[in-house]
Amino acid sequence: MTALSVNLNKIALLRNARDIGIPSVAGAARTCVAAGAHGITVHPRPDQRHIRPADVYELADMLTVEFNIEGNPFAEPGGTYPGFMAIVREVRPAQCTLVPDDPGQKTSDHGWDLIADGDRVRPIVDELKALGIRVSLFMDPVLEQIERAGELAPDRIELYTEAYARACAEGDVEAVFNRYARAAAKAREVGLGVNAGHDLNLDNLARFCAIPGILEVSIGHALVSDALEMGLATAVRKYVEILRAESAGGSDG
């Protein structure tokens, strides 16, 4: 069964709109885990627009499920932000997803160009693996780039799925879906596990997870939006039900 890791960034974004500590990021994590989430994802950016370093440390102390910290490994210290790698070295999460985002981006919007940046990324991958952390690289569904990822030997890639989600919304998904299926197959061919995330939701998740070998999906914005209507625990259960049903169906796309 594909695992669900709930991204709590939007919970923290709402919390940060006031200085009274609600909604609680830790409380939301407890609710998600109790409802069946297999993991929790956070993205501590340098501007601390949502998840703050203190949130990361609190979650690390309390979580009983997989903790996935994502972000740019080259994000440097500044103000009260200790730097991305400093956070990861201290916390040592189960998984670290390396993302090539710039400080001013609204959200992650592209995968690594490992032909250009592979030599910079390689020692980060090696260090994290030496610390016992599973390493995932945020990647577009581009076969040449995924082959390069295989040379760097992370444990997994996370396919950036915004193009798939947009195709689903526009009703012309077949060619895009097949591109992601080929990308996932290439990743497995070069020895990498496959995660996925970005704009996956209740409407498009099942189809995507028909691709063989999707190990984990990270979902935040859509799930928190659903939670506004149905409650956080119910929203988590709805996503887990889709993943469970897809696993039981045994579809291979």
Is 66 a catalytic site residue?
no
CA atoms within 13 A on the CB side of 235: 21
Cα 196 to Cα 188: distance, rounded to the nearest angstrom: 14
Is 50 a catalytic site residue?
no
Cα 109 to Cα 160: distance, rounded to the nearest angstrom: 8
CA–CA–CA angle 34, 238, 181 (5° rounding): 115
Residue of 38, 50, 70, 246 with catalytic role: 70
Tell me the C-alpha to C-alpha distance, in Å, between residue 152 and each of 86, 117, 163, 189, 214: 22, 11, 25, 14, 20
Cα 244 to Cα 37: distance, rounded to the nearest angstrom: 12
Q: Specify the 3-state DSSP secondary structure of 160.
A: strand
Cα 147 to Cα 187: distance, rounded to the nearest angstrom: 7
Residue of 43, 50, 216, 246 with catalytic role: 43
Q: Give the pair of three-digit tokens for residue 85.
A: 């790698």
Q: Give the pair of three-digit tokens for residue 135.
A: 């390493």
Residue of 38, 50, 198, 246 with catalytic role: 198
CA atoms within 13 A on the CB side of 106: 2
Under 8 Å between Cβ of 157 and 124:
no
Is 43 a catalytic site residue?
yes
Query: What residues are annotated to the active site?
Result: 43, 70, 198
